[in-house]
C-alpha cells in the first residue's frame, strides 16, 4: 500500500465538479482496505479496555467525492462485528484524506448506531530511520489511519498501528558537579512496535543522547515491554531493561545504559500523541512529548 490511495481521491477533489451527481453520469469508484488495531473502551465503567486487529474498507465515489467506510473484524464480546458509515463527503489532498462528522450525526448500522465518527488517512507520519536487528515491526506503516467513533453509547473505539514512530522534544536532567543540568534535544526518535496478542512492545530510540558530551547512540532497543490499555489510551512500560545496541547484523547488550524505568503513554483521543518518562543508569531522568504526525508545512 502506498500513497497512491490518497492521490486518486485527492485528484477527484481537484478535478471533479462535485456534489451534483445524477443518473446520467458514469460511475467511477475506487476502494481499498487499511488494517488497524482497534482500541475498544467499553463505556459500562466495568469492563477493561482491550485491543484487537481490525480492518477498514474505504469505497470512494469519485464523481460524488464521497466515501463509504466499512469496518470489519471489530471484536465485541469476542465476536467479529461489522458496521458501515456513509457515504460521506470527504476532503483532503494528496497527503491526507479526512472526514469529521458534524455534531449529532448518526450513521444507522446494525446492531449499533455509529456516532462521533471521524477519520484521517494520512501520509504525514514519521518513519523509522532504519531497521533494528530483531525488531522487524510492520512494513506497512503508511498511510496511517486515525479513526475515532462510538458504537451507541456502549463502546468507544480509536485506532492505532502496530508500529508507530514518534518525534518531539526530549528533556534530560542529569547530575553535574554539585547540581543538576538539563539537556534538550529534538533529535531522538521513538519507534514503538506492539504485539497485541502478547501484549508486549519493543521500543527503539534513534540518535539517543542524554547529555551534551555523552555518546550519541545510533539506536538502542528496549525489548519485551508490557502493554496496558486504559480509557482511550495505551501504555508501554518496563523496568530495569538492559537495552540492546546493533553491532553489525546482531545486537549487544548495554548494561551501562540500563533503563531503570520506561513508560510511554498516549495522550490524545486519537492516539497520535504520546508522552514518555524514563530513567537511565540511575542518573539521567528523561521525559519526552511528541507525535507520530508531522506538522503541516
Partner 1 sequence: MISTIAQILAAVSIAVPSDTSAATAEAGPEAEPADTTLLQEVSVTAVKQTDRLLELPVASTVTGRAEIERLGVTGIKGISDVVPNFYMPEYGSRITSSIYVRGIGARMDQPAVGLTVDNVPILNKDAYDFDIPDMAEVVMLRGPQSTLYGRNTIGGQINVTTISPMRWEGWRFMAEAANGLTFRINAGWYHRFSRKAGMSATAAFTSSRGFFRNAYNNSHTDKERSGSIRVKAHYNPSTRVTIQNVLSTSVLRQGGYPYEYTGTGEISYNDTCFYRRFLLSDGLTVRGRLDGVELTSITTYQYIDDNMTLDQDFLPLPYFTLTQKKRESALTEDLIAKGTNTDIPYRWTAGFSGFYKHLRMQAPVTFKDTGIATLIENNRNDANPDYPIRWDERQFVLGSRFTIPTWGVSFYHESRLELGRWHLGAGLRLDYEHTSMDYISQLSTSYTVYHSPSSGATPELFNHVPIDIDDSGRLSRHFLTLIPKVTALFDVADGCNVYANVSKGYKAGGFNTQMFSDVLQQRLMTQMGIGSRYDINDIVGYRPEKSWNFEIGSHLEFIDGRLGIEASLFYIDCRDQQLTMFPDGTTTGRIMTNAGKTRSLGGELSVRADVGGGVTLTGSYGYTDAKFRKFFNGITSFDGKFLPYVPRNTLFAQALWKLPLKRGGWTMVFDLNVRATGKIYWNEANTLSQPLYAQLGASAALANDKLEIQLWGRNLTDTRYHTFYFMSMGNEFLQRGKPIQAGVTVRLNINNRNNKNYR
Report CA 76 to chain centroid distance, whole Å: 21
Give dist(CA 80, CA 91) in Å, integer. Answer: 30
Report CA 215 to chain centroid distance, whole Å: 30
Question: Smallest distance, Å, CB 261 to partner 1?
Answer: 20
Stretch that binds partner 1, among 104-112, 191-199, 213-221, 233-241 (CB under 8 A): 213-221
C-alpha cell, 136: 522487524
Query: Is there binding between residue 179 and partner 1 (CB under 8 A)?
Result: no
Q: Which is nearer to partner 1, 78 or 250 (CB)?
A: 250
Whether residue 184 contacts residue 174, with contact meaning beta carbons closer than 8 Å, is answered with: no
Out of 84, 131, 218, 263, name the contact with partner 1 by CB under 8 A: 218
Print the binding letters for residues 118-157 with partner 1: x by CB under 8 A, - otherwise. -----------x----------------------------
Report CA 280 to chain centroid distance, whole Å: 26
The kind and range of the H/E element at 109 are: none
Out of 55, 200, 235, 254, name the contact with partner 1 by CB under 8 A: 254
Q: Which is nearer to partner 1, 136 or 252 (CB)?
A: 252
- The helix/strand/coil state of 283 is coil
Q: State phi, psi for 204 to the nearest 5 degrees.
A: -120, 130
Query: Is there binding between residue 3 and partner 1 (CB under 8 A)?
Result: no
Q: Which is nearer to partner 1, 51 or 204 (CB)?
A: 204
Residues that bind partner 1 (CB under 8 A): 129, 207, 215-220, 245-248, 250, 252-257
Amino acid at each position: 500500500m502506498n500513497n497512491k490511495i490518497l492521490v486518486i481521491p485527492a485528484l477527484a477533489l481537484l478535478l471533479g465538479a462535485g456534489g451534483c451527481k445524477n443518473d446520467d453520469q458514469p460511475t467511477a469508484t475506487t476502494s481499498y482496505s487499511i488494517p488497524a488495531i482497534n482500541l475498544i473502551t467499553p463505556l459500562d465503567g466495568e469492563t477493561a479496555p482491550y485491543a484487537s486487529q481490525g480492518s477498514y474498507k474505504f469505497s470512494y465515489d469519485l464523481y460524488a467525492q464521497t466515501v463509504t467506510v466499512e469496518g470489519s473484524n471489530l471484536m465485541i464480546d469476542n465476536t467479529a462485528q461489522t458496521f458501515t458509515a456513509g457515504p460521506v463527503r470527504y476532503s483532503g489532498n494528496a497527503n491526507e484524506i479526512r472526514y469529521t462528522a458534524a455534531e449529532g450525526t448518526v450513521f444507522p448500522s446494525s446492531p449499533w448506531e455509529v456516532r462521533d465518527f471521524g477519520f484521517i488517512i494520512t501520509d504525514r507520519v514519521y518513519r523509522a530511520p532504519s531497521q533494528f536487528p530483531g525488531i522487524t515491526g510492520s512494513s506497512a506503516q503508511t498511510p496511517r489511519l486515525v479513526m475515532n467513533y462510538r458504537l451507541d453509547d456502549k463502546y468507544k473505539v480509536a485506532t492505532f498501528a502496530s508500529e508507530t514512530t514518534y518525534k518531539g522534544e526530549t528533556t534530560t536532567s542529569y547530575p553535574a558537579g554539585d547540581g543538576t543540568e538539563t539537556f534538550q534535544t529534538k533529535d531522538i526518535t521513538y519507534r514503538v512496535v506492539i504485539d497485541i496478542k502478547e501484549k508486549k512492545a519493543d521500543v527503539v530510540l534513534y540518535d539517543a543522547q542524554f547529555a551534551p558530551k555523552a555518546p550519541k547512540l545510533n539506536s538502542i532497543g528496549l525489548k519485551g515491554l508490557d502493554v496496558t490499555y486504559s480509557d482511550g489510551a495505551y501504555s508501554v512500560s518496563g523496568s530495569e531493561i538492559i537495552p540492546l545496541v546493533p553491532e553489525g547484523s546482531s545486537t549487544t547488550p548495554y548494561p551501562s545504559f540500563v533503563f531503570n524505568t520506561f513508560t510511554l503513554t498516549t495522550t490524545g483521543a486519537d492516539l497520535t500523541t504520546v508522552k514518555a518518562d524514563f530513567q537511565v543508569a540511575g542518573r539521567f531522568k528523561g521525559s519526552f512529548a511528541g507525535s507520530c504526525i508531522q506538522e503541516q508545512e
